[in-house]
Amino acid sequence: MTESTITRTGAYRPRAINFLKVHEAAGWRLKFYGITANGGPPRPELITVGEALVPSVLPSPAVYNSGGDPHDSDRYGVGFVTLHDATDYAFALFDWWAGESELHQRVYSALPTRLGAMRPHPTPTIGGVWELAVTDFERRAWLEHVLARPGGPDIEGYLADRFQGDV
């Protein structure tokens, strides 16, 4: 068995992940998170681009009942967006819940100096270690407030449960 070499660009440094707001657009209610390489909030321009992309990136209508069609998923109009102002790219990860327990995602990116050119990311990434911390938190929140809740789903409780921390 050969050992592969991982080339690192520098020492690992934790990054702050901050809840920014609940954004409502096109029938969607989305928790917005921000991550930056320098620890501060993402640039306002990146937040604006993320907000502007919601209607074209996420499915329409936001709330959809497939009527049991196995080839189509129900949607609930809720999810989360992770905006990462990284050094090499600016990322916007759009995630939404469908089919009861499925997380659907689209990843967009642009060079940090060309936010207006944000497009679908050219590789099949699902996120880096920082974005995946948000995904893990949101998975656990969906389990707690929707799937495993004895009294039935609590979407408002899900939207009120927010991640904040260093990863």
Calpha distance 113→127 (Å, rounded): 20
For the chain, the domain total comes to: 1
Evaluate whether residue 11 is within a structural domain.
no
13, two tokens: 């440094």
Say yes or no to pLDDT of 147 above 80: yes
**How large is the average pLDDT for residues 109-119?**
96
Q: Where are the beta strands (DSSP E) in the chain?
A: 16-25, 28-36, 63-64, 75-85, 90-98, 102-110, 119-120, 165-166
Per-residue pLDDT at 115: 96
115, two tokens: 């936010």
Instruction: Please answer whether residues 114 and 129 qualify as being in contact, where contact means their C-beta atoms are separated by less than 8 angstroms.
Output: no
Evaluate whether residue 3 is within a structural domain.
no
Evaluate whether residue 4 is within a structural domain.
no
Calpha distance 37→85 (Å, rounded): 7
Instruction: Please answer whether residues 76 and 63 qualify as being in contact, where contact means their C-beta atoms are separated by less than 8 angstroms.
Output: yes
Evaluate whether residue 7 is within a structural domain.
no
Evaluate whether residue 8 is within a structural domain.
no
Say yes or no to pLDDT of 10 above 90: no
Say yes or no to pLDDT of 123 above 80: yes
**How large is the average pLDDT for residues 151-161?**
97
Instruction: Please answer whether residues 63 and 27 qualify as being in contact, where contact means their C-beta atoms are separated by less than 8 angstroms.
Output: yes
**How large is the average pLDDT for residues 53-75?**
93
Instruction: Please answer whether residues 30 and 23 qualify as being in contact, where contact means their C-beta atoms are separated by less than 8 angstroms.
Output: yes
Which secondary-structure segment (H or E) carries 141? Answer: helix 129-142
Per-residue pLDDT at 133: 98
Evaluate whether residue 9 is within a structural domain.
no
Evaluate whether residue 104 is within a structural domain.
yes
- Residue 73 belongs to domain spanning: 16-166
Per-residue pLDDT at 70: 81
Average the pLDDT over each of 38-42, 93-97, 100-104, 107-111 and give the range with the smallest value. Answer: 38-42
Evaluate whether residue 31 is within a structural domain.
yes
